[in-house]
Amino acid sequence: MLATSSEHRSRRNFLVSSLGFGSAAWIASRAQRAFGFVQANDRPRVAAVGTGSRWCQKATGINGPWGSAPDFRKYGDYVAVCDADRSRRERAVGIVKEWTGIEPSSHHDYRAILDDPKIDMVHISTPDHWHAKMAIEAMLAGKDVYCEKPMTLTIPEGRAMCDVAKKTGRIVQIGTQQRSEKQFIQAIAILHGGRIGKLLKATCHIGGAPTSPEIPIATPPQELDWDLWQGPVKAAPFRFLAGDNGETKSWSRCHYEFRWWYEYSGGKLTDWGAHHVDIATWGLRKTETGPVQIIPELIKHPVEFKDGYPVDPSRYNTATEFLIRAKFDDDVEIEIRHDGDNGILFEGTEGRLFVNRGRISGKPVEDLKSNPLPEDAMQAAYKNRPLVDHFRNFFEAARDRVEPISDVHSHHRALSTCHLAGIAARLNRKLQWDPAAERIVGDSQADQMLARDVRRGFETQM
């Protein structure tokens, strides 16, 4: 059962006072015990919240090791799992027992995990609309957090996450793993080394979103708590249509397919956009500010919109085709588009550079043969930390109490551009943005769309 707001506040006040908001003594004792990565009693104890395919595909009934958990477990031990879908939760229990030899605790309500002082870290792999609430409450409970991208559903959620992370001193890594991949780090080192001159533009090719047939209202599966799955967003009927579509072989409002509903996500703008716009923002040195204009040049949605909201509740509704420009106050620009070769193209006064998960190319890359980067350039780009995989970076940052490579503050700025692009797409008009105040200027309707109404009983407990 969900705790009442007053019960949860009392419990939270106890946790906050007992943990001292991340006191130095507590951090020191925890660091000494938790981070060796080898000995069982030195490894951090991790709780998984959300056990779908992003966590581990085997938990969805699909054969294969894909997901972040198989690599994540190299550095810590899962001791608890939580999911609103009983079948996925039970599979996750079996997977963890297979890995560790010990059956983890199993939870329907994630707040039991927050109340467990034996848990050091929370690994959040839920749908997007749960991320901020869970991450904030985990930080306040004294846990470090690894949160899959995108970090938030709204810009105000991002600001709240930044504020709580700063206040509590918790370490939070966002699952934008491109930040730890060699070719992207090399691209940043090239750009920040001035190898293409003054930076002018980054174009993010992120692909378009799918459409769906009409999806009928259906009875949720017995193993799924649909009300809990929806959580903080407005309640809607469960919809499902079986068919040869994606990993779930269906169209629905739920598992995996939630990405294509603005109610739970931002479509490709926050799916792949969270990856590529993040790299673009990092490369252009815009991680402490934001654009001042968002200009939708091309927008296609699969359903009709009125006042920024879809009128057909039976079909996927996120933008399928788009070309959106985000302009900064110095005329530097990020362009987000559905077409082209997936990746990021940087343009400067002295050249161009393209990077994606398969390659890095352009004359500045070719020139490295005769004019290599300084020996420490890539490590400097990687916040002067050892170049390791994304998960180890998180565990080492938590051990050393330093900022991880994909921190909440820079991700908030990059993702704000994605969220603003979504609002501009839904209204199909230009927006003026004040990055300091984090408000839309001169458009009260658009400004009101920055936040979402939270369903009663699912408010974030601060």
Q: Which domains does the chain have, with CATH numbers?
A: 5-177 (3.40.50.720), 178-384+407-462 (3.30.360.10)
From the list 426, 276, 278, the residue with the least C-alpha distance to 340 is 276
Average pLDDT, the chain: 92
User: Do 256 and 420 form a contact (C-beta atoms < 8 A)?
Assistant: no
**Residues composing the chain:** 462
Tokens read off for 33: 């015990």
Q: Tell whether the model's pLDDT for residue 23 goes beyond 60.
A: no
pLDDT of residue 37: 57
Signed CA dihedral, 365, 367, 368, 372: sign only: negative
Count the neighbouring beta carbons within 10 Å of the beta carbon of residue 201: 18
Residues 368-385, mean pLDDT to the nearest whole number: 97
Q: Tell whether the model's pLDDT for residue 407 goes beyond 80.
A: yes
Per-residue pLDDT tens over the stretch 227-278: 999 999 999 999 999 999 999 999 999 999 999 999 999 999 999 999 999 9
pTM of the model: 0.91
DSSP 435-458: TTTTEEES-HHHHHTSS-PPPTT-
Tokens read off for 22: 């991340």
Query: What DSSP character marks residue 253?
Result: S
CA–chain centroid gap for 354, Å, is 23
Q: Tell whether the model's pLDDT for residue 16 goes beyond 90.
A: no
